[in-house]
């Protein structure tokens, strides 16, 4: 990879101002695979200045011109899919099959959904004698995480481009290689100089400088709730718009009329996808208390089908978690679950048998968990799930809502109307009924401490627009 020691600013790859670097670690081997340059406040200022300089011109482009740009980006992105998937596998440990079937295609899906939204979006409307116009919010700062990196990068970049905004991206320093390839894609596609800029670095330095920069009009952040609070504090003095997609502790309600064999098998194996490193993972599985033993037996059988191993090995369904810090955090929380009285069904602390190196975690299931336990309240971000018993439907909804988070939820029932009614009572931004997947044209985001704003499709596009009322513009 040619550009690991450079930043993409003003339409060209340039040397960083400082000399700080960071090794990128392959989590399956614990060995470095690249060294990236780490930015500082001066690099951020250069990138923001480039974005500000490009803004007036790009903001004045027509929707048709931006449609053509997105189409060209999609064309180039498709050609680089294999490269993107390979980067994700090597830097954050996603199994090759997952990287090629989901991680890289997620970004493409957002470009496609944004293109559709732009083609059908109304930027101007008449209300009596007033014209209401929607205009780009301005220069945007994007701070993105490592777990679904392309998904979260493109969910911000695509609608910002569609709206006519310019931007600076700071991807996770843990998994930055896919973002470098992404910048190469935008460059090849002909994104005008300064519209998209990339500066690698850590949150304390580059993230803080971006969120506090007076020439940044909006900051969009995806990551932990703790870090999101700091971003909001940094942004507050300049009263910039802040959009956040933060942590989650999603409840998965299995109602008593659901097909337990199918649902629990599906959701145990589904929860460990991406090593459980998904903010919307349904880690709290709520089961009728009098059927806990039945659920545990099904979970044991499902867990036995999960294959943990090297991401590039045939048959692997779960790779490592992303880093030593993440591994240590998960190990501590598994031990906490044991210490607080959860029944360990499968898994536990330590690496799976046969894996002496790499940040591999045993897929772990707890039963007989109460909602006040640490593992039921804290986001683990690993392949760890817990069965919590409930007495009746009202109790299930109460437990589901008894959390600081409100990102996602799941409901399974043999009666679709019953599932719908329960879904409407859950205080979350999204609910999956009977295993329904995400949709790239539907809103993604949460209630409570899971954030604010919405991404995906037209909802993401709207987040990057200001609304202006021009009074008396529509008079005879």
**Which residue in the list 140, 184, 279, 455 is annotated as catalytic?**
279
**Tokens encoding 434:** 């009977």
SS3 percent helix, strand, coil of the chain, rounded to 5, is 40, 20, 35
* Count of Cβ atoms closer than 10 Å to residue 236 Cβ: 12
* Sign of the C-alpha dihedral computed for residues 296, 403, 436 and 273 taken in this order: negative
Backbone CA torsion sign across 100, 380, 427, 152: negative
Pairing of strands 343-346, 364-369: antiparallel
Using an 8 Å Cβ cutoff, are 376 and 369 in contact? Answer: yes
In contact, 70 and 111? CB cutoff 8 Å: yes
Task: Check if the beta carbon of residue 152 is closer than 8 Å to that of residue 40.
Answer: no
Vertex 453, ends 450 and 458: CA angle to 5°?
130
Question: Which of 258, 290, 296 minimizes the C-alpha distance to 385?
Answer: 296
At 341, phi and psi to the nearest 5?
A: 105, 10
**Active-site hit among 100, 245, 379, 455:** 245
378 catalytically annotated: no
456 contacts 127 by C-beta, under 8 angstroms: no
Which residues sit opposite 167 in a β-bridge? 140, 196
How many DSSP H helices and E strands does the chain contain? 16, 22
CA distance 460 to 110: 10
Asked about 230 being catalytic, the answer comes back as no
* Alpha carbon distance 242, 322 (integer Å): 27
Question: Annotated active-site positions, please?
Answer: 245, 279
């Amino acid at each position: 990879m040619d550009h690991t020691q450079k930043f993409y600013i003003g339409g060209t790859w340039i040397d960083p101002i400082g000399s700080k670097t960071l090794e990128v670690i392959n989590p399956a081997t614990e060995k470095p695979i690249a060294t990236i340059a780490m930015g500082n406040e001066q690099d951020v200022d250069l990138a923001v200045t480039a974005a500000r300089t490009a803004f007036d011109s790009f903001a004045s482009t027509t929707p048709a011109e931006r449609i053509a740009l997105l189409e060209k980006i999609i064309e180039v992105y498709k050609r680089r899919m294999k490269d993107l998937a390979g980067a994700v596998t090597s830097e954050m440990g996603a199994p090759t099959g997952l990287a090629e079937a989901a991680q890289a295609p997620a970004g493409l899906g957002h470009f496609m959904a944004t293109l559709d939204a732009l083609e059908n979006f109304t930027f101007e409307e008449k209300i009596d004698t007033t014209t209401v116009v929607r205009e780009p919010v301005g220069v945007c700062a994007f701070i993105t995480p490592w777990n679904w990196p392309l998904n979260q990068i493109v969910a911000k970049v695509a609608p910002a481009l569609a709206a006519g905004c310019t931007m600076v991206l700071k991807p996770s320093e843990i998994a930055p290689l896919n973002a470098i390839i992404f910048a190469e894609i935008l460059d090849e596609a002909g994104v005008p100089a300064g519209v998209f800029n990339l500066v690698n670095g850590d949150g304390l330095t580059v993230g803080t400088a971006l969120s506090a920069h007076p020439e940044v009009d909006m900051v969009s952040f995806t990551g932990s709730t703790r870090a999101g609070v700091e971003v909001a504090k940094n942004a507050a003095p300049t009263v910039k718009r802040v959009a956040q997609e933060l942590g989650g502790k999603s409840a998965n309600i299995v109602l008593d009329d659901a097909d337990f064999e199918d649902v629990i098998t599906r959701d145990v194996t589904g929860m460990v996808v991406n090593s459980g490193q998904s903010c919307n993972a349904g880690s709290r599985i709520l089961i009728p208390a009098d059927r806990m033993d039945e659920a545990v037996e099904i979970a044991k059988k499902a867990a036995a089908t999960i294959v943990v191993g090297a991401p590039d090995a045939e048959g692997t369904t779960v790779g490592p978690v992303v880093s030593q810090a993440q591994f240590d955090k998960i190990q501590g929380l598994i031990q906490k679950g044991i210490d607080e009285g959860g029944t360990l069904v499968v898994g536990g602390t330590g690496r799976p048998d046969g894996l002496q190196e790499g940040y591999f975690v045993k897929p772990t299931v707890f039963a007989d968990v109460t909602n006040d336990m640490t593992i039921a309240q804290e986001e683990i971000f690993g392949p760890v799930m817990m069965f919590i018993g409930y007495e009746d439907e009202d109790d299930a909804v109460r437990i589901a809502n008894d959390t600081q988070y409100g990102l996602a939820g799941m409901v399974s029932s043999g009666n679709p109307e019953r599932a719908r009614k329960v879904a409407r009572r859950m205080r979350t931004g999204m609910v999956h009924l009977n295993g329904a997947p995400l949709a790239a044209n539907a809103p993604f985001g949460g209630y409570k401490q899971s954030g604010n704003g919405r991404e995906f499709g037209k909802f993401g596009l709207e987040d990057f627009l200001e609304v202006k009322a021009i009074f008396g513009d529509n008079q005879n």
